[in-house]
């Protein structure tokens, strides 16, 4: 079992703790408890990385903020009901690289992201556009929750929301818990990727971050809010179950 644990730990980039390793082992048929896995990981010297403290980038915008439509209820019954987003910074030898994200709170999937040397509305607009395109452009009515930073209260971002039919929601100024899932993603990115590398250039950071999101976070990294599944796998499984339920209901009606 030790060899299997080491394989799973390495495949996670050295970031998984015992609960996620245990889920991986269960999928392969192992009958083992999380406590046993934790004990073996301790013996092997394997430990997931703890979260780091985040410094806020939020600067209150001059324009009026949108009301808080979420109230810290960060769950959704289906995709494209509730999104959230934030901006964080990545340190490189060339200077800071800013990352804006859009996350679907149904599955915790990263739908859109954009990176730039500039911390402005163009960055957040680009991330929103990518999210809308990822969902095929049909996102009318989705709520997008953020902080009250100037890049979200800006006229340019508000215009982009109107274009896609996105309804803005904002937490209170200076309250990280009002946008906890976005803050959590930023912490995960820093701990599992950004703080483990020294990026020589912004281009190198862009490539590694994009690869991590598409090749690991969305497709392979287990998320507790998605029944312990990777976000895309969770969406696919729920869609399949709901489609089968619909077919069965139609069959019963027709019978």
89-101 residue pLDDT tens: 999 999 999 999 9
pLDDT value of position 228: 95
- Rounded CA separation 75/22 (Å): 25
- Rounded CA separation 168/67 (Å): 8
DSSP state for residue 213 in the 8-state scheme: I
In degrees and rounded to multiples of 5, residue 36 shows phi and psi of -65, -45
Query: Is the pLDDT at 11 greater than 80, yes or no?
Result: no
Residue range 34-85, pLDDT digits in tens = 778 677 777 667 676 554 554 556 555 456 899 999 999 999 999 999 999 9
pTM of the model: 0.77
User: Which range, of 129-143, 157-171, 174-188, averages the lowest pLDDT?
Assistant: 174-188
- Rounded CA separation 159/118 (Å): 20
User: Sign of the CA dihedral 59, 74, 109, 33?
Assistant: positive
Confidence of residue 20 (pLDDT cuts 50, 70, 90): confident
**Listed residue (229, 232, 217) closest to 13, CA to CA:** 217
Q: Where are the alpha helices (DSSP H) in the chain?
A: 2-11, 18-27, 34-44, 121-134, 150-153, 155-164, 180-192, 202-212, 231-254
Q: Are strands 95-104 and 109-116 parallel, antiparallel or unpaired?
A: antiparallel
* C-alpha separations of 246 from 251, 253, 254 in Å: 9, 11, 12
pLDDT value of position 185: 97
């Amino acid at each position: 079992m030790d060899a299997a644990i080491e394989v799973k730990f390495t495949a996670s980039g050295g970031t998984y703790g015992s609960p996620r390793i245990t889920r991986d082992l269960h999928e392969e048929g192992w009958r083992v408890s999380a406590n046993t896995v934790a004990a073996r990981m301790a013996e092997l010297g394997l430990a997931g990385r703890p979260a780091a403290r985040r410094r806020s980038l939020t600067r209150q915008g001059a324009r009026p903020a949108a009301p808080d439509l979420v109230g810290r209820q960060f769950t959704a019954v289906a995709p494209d009901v509730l999104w959230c987003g934030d901006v964080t910074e990545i340190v490189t030898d060339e200077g800071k690289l800013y990352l804006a994200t859009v996350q679907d709170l149904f599955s915790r999937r990263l739908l859109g992201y954009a990176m730039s040397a500039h911390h402005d509305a163009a960055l957040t607009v680009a991330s929103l556009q990518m999210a809308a395109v990822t969902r095929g452009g049909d996102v009318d009515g989705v709520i997008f929750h953020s902080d009250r930073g100037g890049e979200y209260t800006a006229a340019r971002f508000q215009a982009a929301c109107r274009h896609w039919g996105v309804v803005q929601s904002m937490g209170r100024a200076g309250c990280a818990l009002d946008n906890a899932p976005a803050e959590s993603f930023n912490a995960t990115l820093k701990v599992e990727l950004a703080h483990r590398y020294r990026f020589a250039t912004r281009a190198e950071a862009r490539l590694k971050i994009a690869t991590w999101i598409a090749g690991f976070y969305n497709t392979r990294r287990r998320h507790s809010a998605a029944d312990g599944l990777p976000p895309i796998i969770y969406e696919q499984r729920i869609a399949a179950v709901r489609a089968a339920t619909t077919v069965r209901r139609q069959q019963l009606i027709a019978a």
